[in-house]
Amino acid sequence: MSALNPVVTVYVPRDSTALALGADQVAADITEQARQRGVNIKLIRNGSRGMFWLEPLVEVATAEGRIAYGPVETEDVAGLFDADFLNGGQHRLALGLVEEIPYLKKQERLTFARVGITDPLSLEDYLAHEGYAGLRRALDMSSEAVVQEVLDSGLRGRGGAAFPTGIKWKTVAATQAAQKYIVCNADEGDSGTFSDRMVMEDDPFMLIEGMTIAALAVGASHGYIYVRSEYPHAIAALNHAIVSASNANYLGENILGSHSSFHLEVRKGAGAYICGEETALLESLEGKRGVVRAKPPLPAIEGLFGKPTVINNVISLASVPVILARGAAFYKNYGMGRSLGTLPMQLAGNIRHGGLVEKAFGVTLRELLIDFGGGTASGKPIRAVQVGGPLGPYLPPSLFDTKLDYEAMAAVGGMLGHGGIVVFDDSVDMAKQARYAMEFCASESCGKCTPCRIGSTRGVEVIDKIVAGEPRQAVVQIKLLRDLCDTMVNGSLCAMGSMTPLPVLSALDHFPEDFGDGALNQAA
């Protein structure tokens, strides 16, 4: 019977955005329909391809490849069976071969190569898709050679500051200590960012492998992944994967029979944006309030519990396996200038085709917003985009031809941050966005510096006065706001206080008409 009626593999994502759009119910419905109709299916819960407007995106394995249907809702499931979707049948929701969907096809997926394809919790699946090839190669190399490979790849930290990862590792490797740590910064607090979440939920072994390679490279025996409490699905996936990796000796004592040992643990944050800042994160891991430490000493020299510590973002660490597996030259072949490799960018907010786009550095904002994103979801014109999280400036359409590269963005007063792009249509009130930036800083400041702690509260009040005030008063208040921003930039210890002025001033500079009388504004 099975020869006549082979088992068909069906994929329904388990990524949390897919879940938020009903993927669990769709998976249950597909299983139930198959049972009722007496057909044999194998249902795999894969990760998401990152085309979120199509989620839940159901895929069926056929002789030609994986055929996609989406977005599938509960009421579509019976119809899909009627249309013989298990054999790639035609249906209103049919999208053809998933790999041929332009949004996906035009990407350059190095870090996200497996994401959406495999079952994230299956170690066998991971191994069958080049998983642990990087670690195997690293185990055959000296630790110096591993560090050199990462240095040569040109990989810069993807968490925001863009500091070369290899140099950080080299410092930790060169520091003598009985105990060293690898800490993964999985706090991903920026609005509009979800690539870290996707790695953790949709390919957790890749992060574990990257951290293990980092441990070999610097001589660390223990690691922590600090995940924000807002990501329960990521925490569950990581814990599951850590157990599987440990059982198969990819973690633990004498990894794969080598002399290296590495133990890994997930720690849950507690809803504080500032704990994404690396030293605040270390304080939090130590069980304290997440207050920023003054540097020096660098965490590479005195980090967690005073020991040398590599602290890297999820994507930085997740980029390491492919660099080791394919070599530094392969990786640095992508990108431009001093921004090498690829960046997983995230299209969010008021955008028609929101999702994850991994491309080599050098793609323009316009390509992302229009070619990939398809413009706004509301159909109205785009008025502003905020790139780089809540501390990133708001950019007007006149800057959309800027290439996404750390230096090119900086040259127009922008930043790339963690690659989050939040789109607003023309209904946005930029004075309100500026006020929100100040309010966010006031609520999330760690409290160490006065300009950040108090300045942000004053900032909210001043913006309120500008919006409510008489034109003549507005001139004075706008001058006051600029002075205040100056003080915050110059008097703050970390980027929370020193960069909150970016969204505020960019709103004022690019969208003065939203702050009362435009002409008076410019005069101020």
Partner 1 sequence: MQIEPSSHVPQAVPSDPSVDLNQVRIIIEEFKTLPGAMLPVLHAIQDALGYVPPSVVPLIADELNLSRAEVHGVISFYHHFRQQPAGRHIVQICRAEACQAVGADALAAHAKAALGCDFHGTSSDGQFTLEPVYCLGQCACGPNMQIDDDLHARVSNDKFNRVVRAKRGVQ
Ligand X SMILES: Cc1cc2nc3c(=O)[nH]c(=O)nc-3n(C[C@H](O)[C@H](O)[C@H](O)COP(=O)(O)O)c2cc1C
Summarize as ranges the residues that interact with partner 1 (CB under 8 A). 16-17, 19-21, 52-53, 55, 188-194, 197, 229-232, 234, 267-273, 284-290, 305, 346-351, 354-355, 377-378, 386, 390, 420, 422-425, 428, 433, 436, 440, 444
Residues 191-210 that bind ligand X (CB under 6 A): none
**Rounded-to-integer distance, Cα 25 and Cα 501, Å:** 44
Binding region for ligand SF4 (CB under 6 A) out of 13-21, 58-66, 340-348, 494-502: 494-502
* Contact with ligand SF4 (CB under 6 A) among 96, 232, 447, 471: 447
The token duo for 506 is 């960019």
Q: What phi, psi does 394 have (nearest 5°)?
A: -90, 125
Rounded to a whole number of angstroms, the minimum distance from the CB of residue 341 to ligand X is 13
φ, ψ (nearest 5 deg) of residue 121: -95, 5
453's contact among ligand SF4, ligand X, partner 1, none, with CB below 5 to 8 A by partner kind, is: ligand SF4
Kindly state whether residue 445 participates in binding ligand SF4, applying the rule CB under 6 A: yes
- For position 497 contacting ligand SF4 by CB under 6 A, the verdict is yes
* Smallest distance from ligand X to CB 60, Å: 37
Return the one option of ligand X, partner 1, ligand SF4, none that residue 448 interacts with (CB less than 5 to 8 A, by type): ligand SF4
Q: Does 281 bind ligand SF4 (CB under 6 A)?
A: no
Residue at token pair 């009362």: 516
Cα separation of 2 and 322, whole Å?
38
**Nearest distance from C-beta of residue 370 to ligand X, angstroms:** 28
- Beta carbon of residue 115, minimum distance to ligand X (angstroms, whole number): 18
Stretch that binds ligand SF4, among 219-227, 351-359, 397-405, 489-497 (CB under 6 A): 489-497
Annotate each residue in 301-340 with x if it binds ligand X (CB under 6 A) or - if it does not, as one string: ----------xxx--x------------------------
Q: Strands, DSSP E only, in 270-381?
A: 309-313, 335-336, 339-340, 342-349, 355-360
Q: Which stretch binds ligand X (CB under 6 A): 5-13, 45-53, 127-135, 158-166?
A: 158-166
- With a CB cutoff of 8 Å and minimum separation 6, the contacts of 253 are 261
Q: What is the DSSP secondary structure assignment for residue 223, as one 8-state letter?
A: E
CA distance 255 to 136: 10
DSSP state, residue 164: B
**Residues 448/441, Cβ–Cβ less than 8 Å:** no
Among 449, 463, 475, 504, binds ligand SF4 (CB under 6 A): 449
Counting contacts by CB under 6 A, is residue 492 touching ligand SF4? Answer: yes
Q: How far is the CB of 160 from ligand X (least distance, A)?
A: 4
Among 15, 29, 55, 188, binds ligand X (CB under 6 A): 188
Token pair recorded at residue 136: 């195997």
Number of residues that bind ligand X (CB under 6 A): 22
CB of 16 to ligand SF4, least distance (A): 28
DSSP, collapsed to helix, strand or coil, labels residue 516 as coil
Q: Can you tell me which residue has the tokens 């929101």?
A: 354
Q: Single out the residue of 277, 283, 358, 514 in contact with ligand X (rule: CB under 6 A).
A: 277
Give the shortest CB-496-to-ligand X separation in angstroms: 4
Determine phi and psi for 200, rounding to 5 degrees: -65, -40
Alpha-carbon distance 522 to 504, whole Å? 15
No. of helices (H) and no. of strands (E), the chain = 23, 16
Query: Distance (Å, rounded) from C-alpha 37 to C-alpha 494?
Result: 61
Report how far residue 275's alpha carbon sits from residue 284's, in angstroms, rounded to the nearest whole number: 7
Judged by CB, which is closer to ligand SF4: 14, or 448?
448
DSSP 46-102: ----SBGGG-S-EEEEETTEEEEE-S--GGGHHHHHHTTGGGT---TTEEEEGGGSH
Residues that bind ligand SF4 (CB under 6 A): 274, 292, 445-449, 452-453, 492-494, 496-497
Residues that bind ligand X (CB under 6 A): 157-161, 163, 165, 185, 187-189, 274, 276-278, 311-313, 316, 494-496
